[in-house]
Amino acid sequence: MGTWDVEPFNNYTAADWSGNLHDAVEDQRLPLIRATLSAVADNNDRYLDNSLADQAIAAAAVVASQLPGGEPLVTPYAPDFLLEGGTLDISGDISLLALRALDRIFGDGSEWRDLWEDVGKYADAVGALQTVRATLERATA
């Protein structure tokens, strides 16, 4: 799985995605976030691959960190430009897209869910995303 903890960025896939977001030209960062979240939120007919889920969880955490009341990212695996004080202008529709992606990840037909259930840590993994989810829900209310 390449995962060392349940937090959003604590796996190789999310850390790599964060690096790609950091390296993206500034005006391409939001499109990258949107594409990442859409790949999961719109995946209704197939088994959801864990790597897509890990990327979308990182994207959702980035979105939540940029919303009013969102917790700032402090992990060294988050995008460097955000750790250095940079920001993103998040629109409301991206928050809703992030919520849809999390719902898909937590639901049936998700390798992410199956892997965490297999090791008996599904509740911990979902719990680690409670703050992200709550921030997104406030933004879409």
What pTM did the predictor assign? Answer: 0.96
d(CA 53, CA 44): 13
pLDDT digits (tens, 9 = 90+) for 85-108: 999 999 879 999 999 999 999 999
* Residue 36 covered by a domain: yes
Closest residue by Cα to residue 137 from 88, 86, 100: 100
Beta bridge partners of 110: 48
* Residue 3 covered by a domain: no
Q: What is the pLDDT of residue 14?
A: 96
Q: What is the DSSP letter of 5?
A: S
* Residue 1 covered by a domain: no
Q: What is the pLDDT of residue 4?
A: 74
Q: How many degrees, rounded to 5, is the angle at CA 116 between CA 112 and CA 15?
A: 60
Neighbours of 47 (CB within 10 A): 11
* Residue 2 covered by a domain: no
Q: What is the pLDDT of residue 114?
A: 97
pLDDT digits (tens, 9 = 90+) for 69-89: 999 999 999 999 999 999 999
Q: What is the pLDDT of residue 89?
A: 94
Q: How many domains does the chain have?
A: 1
Residue spans of the chain under pLDDT 70:
1
* Residue 5 covered by a domain: no
* Residue 68 covered by a domain: yes
d(CA 102, CA 40): 8
d(CA 34, CA 69): 21
* Residue 73 covered by a domain: yes
d(CA 115, CA 137): 26
* Residue 126 covered by a domain: yes
Q: Show the domain range for 109.
A: 12-140
